[in-house]
Structure 1
Amino acid sequence: KCDIVENNFRPGVMEEWNIGYRQIREINPRIIFLSKNGYGQWGQYARENRPSNDGASQALSGYSWMSRFPGQTPLKMRAYIGDNYGALSAEIAVLAALHYRDRTGKGQFIEFSQNENIFRIMSWIWPYIQLSGESPRPTGNRDACICPADTFRCIDDTFVALAAPAPDEFRGLCQAMGRPELAEDPRFKDHAARLQEENAVAILKIIADWVRTKRADEIERLAEEYGFAATHLYTAKDLVENEHFNARDLRPEINDPLLGKYRNYDFPVKMSGTPPQTKWSVRPVGWDNEYILKTLLGKTDAEIRRLYECGALGKWKDVQGRRPPPDWDGKSGLNTTQG
């Protein structure tokens, strides 16, 4: 009855439990089987049976090494890009497999590495190495591919992100700074010249000195007037209170039967015919065991109890984030998956 099986175990675990792709395919040839973990199902790290998590993936992929200012400690992004972006990419693969199955009737095995997925978002780095023979160095907030593009400190110690790489954008920036002659300076006249290290440092210093005399909102108004990109750096509090995003209903109220009412950022895609809707939050581990086993698989209470007793089935441990809230009454929300 199953369409898709997903797991994030290390290589060989599902096979040891006799529920690997080959075993399940014998029962259901149409199955789509996704195995996603840190390093994939084969190769040196898979043979070493290495465990992984988001931080390890950011480190091994080189992402942390690049995400820093020169001479400073490598920086792990606080957002879980390996987990979140990895989940998104893997589910795109699942959708593609479903489409293929609709056309051919055939299922397939999908192998996914969290590390390799991060490689993909470091897009310009790999051709840079091949063409230059050098490893790109960390540059902080400065963009190594376009110039000028960096984050600058304002007069009130807030920050603004500014970019003006195109000819009209750079000319507009020079006019906004009151330095129109810079647009004709041989060091800055074209983009290739501005990307040269000595010239890039020079123009970024000129911009930094100018921004330091103004507030972020002044820079934003000038950017709108003269046609270059600039925005002040938002805090999480700024975003929650932002009129633009609130008007777009990016933080709808979710009435979760288990957690109650709260606001959270919704799936950021607007669809006219089938708009996304969040009915409940992430469930504790094993939350839907009884519903799945009884409703879909026809198991009795006695059969389910034996599965728990032999260790084939389990539920959440007493770990924050995996268990229900401490004040859960043992009943609320249990029937939501049937709606």
Structure 2
Amino acid sequence: LKPENAKALTQIATDWISTKSCADIVKLADENNFPAAEVADDYMIANEEWRRKRGSVVLFKDDVYGDLAIAGPSAMLSQTPSRTKWLARPLGYHNRLVLKKFLGLSEADIEKLEKKKVIGTFDDRPGLKPPVYYDLSKDPIYNYGKEVKK
């Protein structure tokens, strides 16, 4: 393909594709031996039944994030099947637990460190903080050593 012909050829292909459905193009590809496939988005992949049956997508219930479809294990081992115990927690989620239980710090010590910005938790950015529907004030790990609301 000569570079000067690339734009014209791309336009011809684009015009042709725009007149067909995805199913039409895949059928033509099968009949005429050229590669074509539907581009799947995350929603389609997570909801394809065969992916769930083979374990490449698994349903998971997490205390913080709720019910999710997540990627299954990359290796399927017969003697030691893998499992997902929990998902990653927001930045600083375990601070109180570690600082109090394992390092013996008091609430006053933790407050001093927070005030000096030595330690902290997530800021207000999606992906770094818990979902908006999750009530952190009731979380026993995040509030380790404090009385938790019921």
After TM superposition, the score normalised by the length of structure 1 is 0.32
Distance in 2 separating the partners of 1:212 and 1:332: 52
Structure 2 counterpart of 1:300, which letter? G
Structure 2 matches for 1:229-308, cutoff 5 A? 229-260=35-66, 262-266=67-71, 269-272=74-77, 276-294=82-100, 298-302=102-106, 305-308=108-111
Cα deviation, residue 320, structure 1: 5.4
Give the conservation status (yes or no) of the 8 Å contact 1:254–1:279: no
Query: Against the structure 1 CA distance between its residues 327 and 246, is the aligned structure 2 distance closer, same or farther, given a 3 Å change threshold?
Result: closer
Give the conservation status (yes or no) of the 8 Å contact 1:250–1:268: yes
Counterpart secondary structure, 1:245: helix
- Structure 2 residues without counterparts, runs of 5 or longer: 143-150
Counterpart secondary structure, 2:61: strand
Give the conservation status (yes or no) of the 8 Å contact 2:57–2:72: no
Structure 1 counterpart of 2:59, which letter? E
Give the conservation status (yes or no) of the 8 Å contact 2:64–2:134: no
Alignment deviations for residues 170-192 of structure 1 (CA, whole Å, 9 cap, x no partner) = xxxxxxxxxxxxxxxxxxxxxxx
1:314 — aligned with what?
A: 120
Query: Against the structure 1 CA distance between its residues 267 and 208, is the aligned structure 2 distance closer, same or farther, given a 3 Å change threshold?
Result: same
Query: Against the structure 1 CA distance between its residues 242 and 201, is the aligned structure 2 distance closer, same or farther, given a 3 Å change threshold?
Result: same
Counterpart secondary structure, 1:277: coil
Partner residue of 1:224 out of 10, 30, 43? 30
Over the residues paired in the alignment, what is the CA RMSD in angstroms? 3.5
- Percent of counterpart pairs with the same letter? 26
Cα deviation, residue 329, structure 1: 6.0
Give the conservation status (yes or no) of the 8 Å contact 2:73–2:83: no
Counterpart secondary structure, 1:265: strand
Cα deviation, residue 255, structure 1: 1.9
2:147 — aligned with what?
A: none
Distance in 1 separating the partners of 2:70 and 2:38: 21
Give the conservation status (yes or no) of the 8 Å contact 2:58–2:72: no
Alignment deviations for residues 186-237 of structure 1 (CA, whole Å, 9 cap, x no partner) = xxxxxxxx2x123434544444444344322121122233332212344554
Query: Against the structure 1 CA distance between its residues 205 and 315, is the aligned structure 2 distance closer, same or farther, given a 3 Å change threshold?
Result: closer
Higher percent of residues as helix = 1
Alignment deviations for residues 93-134 of structure 1 (CA, whole Å, 9 cap, x no partner) = xxxxxxxxxxxxxxxxxxxxxxxxxxxxxxxxxxxxxxxxxx
Runs of 4+ in 1 over 6 A off after TM superposition: none
Distance in 2 separating the partners of 1:242 and 1:211: 25
Structure 2 counterpart of 1:290, which letter? R
After TM superposition, the score normalised by the length of structure 2 is 0.62
Does 1 or 2 have the higher relative contact order (CA < 8 Å, sep 6+)?
Answer: 2
Give the conservation status (yes or no) of the 8 Å contact 1:250–1:266: yes
Query: Against the structure 1 CA distance between its residues 212 and 287, is the aligned structure 2 distance closer, same or farther, given a 3 Å change threshold?
Result: closer
Query: Against the structure 1 CA distance between its residues 205 and 244, is the aligned structure 2 distance closer, same or farther, given a 3 Å change threshold?
Result: farther
Alignment deviations for residues 236-265 of structure 1 (CA, whole Å, 9 cap, x no partner) = 5433443443434444222212333x1133
Distance in 2 separating the partners of 1:316 and 1:198: 51
Alignment deviations for residues 123-179 of structure 1 (CA, whole Å, 9 cap, x no partner) = xxxxxxxxxxxxxxxxxxxxxxxxxxxxxxxxxxxxxxxxxxxxxxxxxxxxxxxxx
Equivalent residue pairs, number: 136
Distance in 1 separating the partners of 2:86 and 2:76: 20
Query: Against the structure 1 CA distance between its residues 301 and 247, is the aligned structure 2 distance closer, same or farther, given a 3 Å change threshold?
Result: same
Give the conservation status (yes or no) of the 8 Å contact 2:60–2:68: yes
